[in-house]
């Protein structure tokens, strides 16, 4: 799975030996202190509405704001498999749910271990394969 923002590109690659998705940023493997690869048991790609704020970063570019209340498409990577479904969050006080086949579908379970959620603006290209 890979996607790119204006300032960086990320990829997660399934590693059957560790049962984890290994993170690569801008073409370089991410490693933690001690040299272990940064990895996740589950990767969620959550497509969210986004718009530019009035704030600007140190380079003068407007900073984006993502809307985390509502619903939209989601892709969940777990155990080397892909589940496509929906995310939903009715209000800021509620957790986000992930379901297969729409909002009336079954919850998509997460694997035991780290879960990475990528907030991807609607329309941003994501390659899963």
Show me where the domains of the chain are located. Answer: 2-123
Of the candidate CATH numbers 3.40.50.300, 1.10.10.10, 1.10.357.10, 3.50.90.10, the domain formed by 2-123 belongs to 3.50.90.10
**For residue 65, what pLDDT is reported?**
93
Instruction: Give the tens place of pLDDT for each residue, 6-52.
Output: 889 999 999 999 999 999 999 999 999 999 999 999 999 999 999 99
Q: Which of 96, 97, 78 is nearest to 40 (CA)?
A: 78
Residues composing the chain: 129
Residues 6+ apart with CB under 8 A from 110: 41, 42, 44, 76, 78
């Amino acid at each position: 799975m890979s996607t790119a923002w204006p300032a960086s590109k990320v990829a997660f690659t399934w590693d059957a030996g560790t049962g984890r998705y290994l993170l690569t940023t801008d073409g370089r493997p991410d490693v933690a202190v001690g040299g272990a690869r940064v990895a996740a048991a589950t990767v969620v790609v959550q497509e969210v509405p986004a718009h530019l704020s009035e704030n600007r970063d140190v380079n003068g570019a407007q900073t984006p704001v993502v809307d985390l209340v509502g619903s939209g498409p989601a892709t969940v990577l777990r155990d080397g498999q892909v589940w496509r479904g929906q995310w939903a969050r009715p209000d800021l006080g509620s957790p986000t749910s992930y379901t297969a086949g729409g909002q009336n579908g079954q919850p998509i379970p997460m694997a035991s271990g780290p879960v990475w959620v990528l907030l991807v603006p609607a329309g941003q290209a994501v390659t899963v394969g």
